[in-house]
Amino acid sequence: MVRLKDLSEAEQAHLLTKNDPPLGPSAWNRLNQNINTLRFALITTAGLHFRDDLAFEFADATFRPIAGDENADDLVMSHSSVNFDKSGFAEDVNLVFPIERFRELRDAGKIGSLADIHYSFMGAGLEPAAYEANAVQVAGMLKQDKVDAVFLTPV
């Protein structure tokens, strides 16, 4: 992670304009069932997609579906932030999209199942309100897929 003091003055000023107050109280829900019965989906803000999918653009609030049965090694990253080091992703996609770890948990009976579709956003530069319509759409699709819990990897 880059330190603010190591960035140019212009980039420091840009990032400091995003020092917004918290979005509000946490929307945590109490877990009323065993984790080994839950259906999980993964959501990342790493700007991941398959090579044939439309790449994320700068300041892009859209999302890309990631089919749960696809090979995660075929994912590419079009995250646009120059402040994000992509070398870890190049070594192991599970750093930003831990699908293999979740498959292992499922296979070991530690979680119930995995969603048919997972989702990727590109988390660079936009205010939370810009994502609202797409987040609501994804929430509806997760509900249709009977997802109980989401594991978010913010990048």
Instruction: Give the domain ranges of the chain.
Output: 35-153
Q: Residues 18, 19, 25, CA angle at the centre, nearest 5°?
A: 115
Backbone Cα Rg of the chain: 17
Average of per-residue pLDDT values in the chain: 88
Name the strand (E) or helix (H) holding 141: helix 132-144
pLDDT for the residue 80: 64
Token pair listed for 107: 């296979």
Give the span between the Cα atoms of 108 and 5, in whole angstroms: 44
Q: Tell me: pLDDT of 75 over 80.
A: yes
Query: Using CA atoms in the order 18, 22, 24, 25, what is the torsion angle rounded to 10 degrees?
Result: 150
**The two three-digit tokens of residue 24, written as one number:** 């509000």
Using pLDDT thresholds of 50, 70 and 90, give the confidence band for residue 44: very high
Distance CA 49, CA 96 (A): 12
How big is the chain, counted in residues? 155
> What integer is the mean pLDDT of 146-150?
96
- pLDDT for 124-133, tens place per residue? 778 888 999 9
Average pLDDT of the segment spanning 7-34: 80
Return d(Cα 40, Cα 151) in angstroms, integer: 7
Q: What is the pLDDT of residue 127?
A: 80
Question: Which pLDDT value is given to residue 84?
Answer: 65
Model confidence at 106, pLDDT cuts 50, 70, 90, reads: very high
Residue 22, pLDDT > 80, answer no
Decide: helix, strand or coil at residue 39: strand
Q: How far is 24 from 34, CA to CA, in rounded Å?
A: 28
pLDDT of residue 102 exceeding 90:
yes
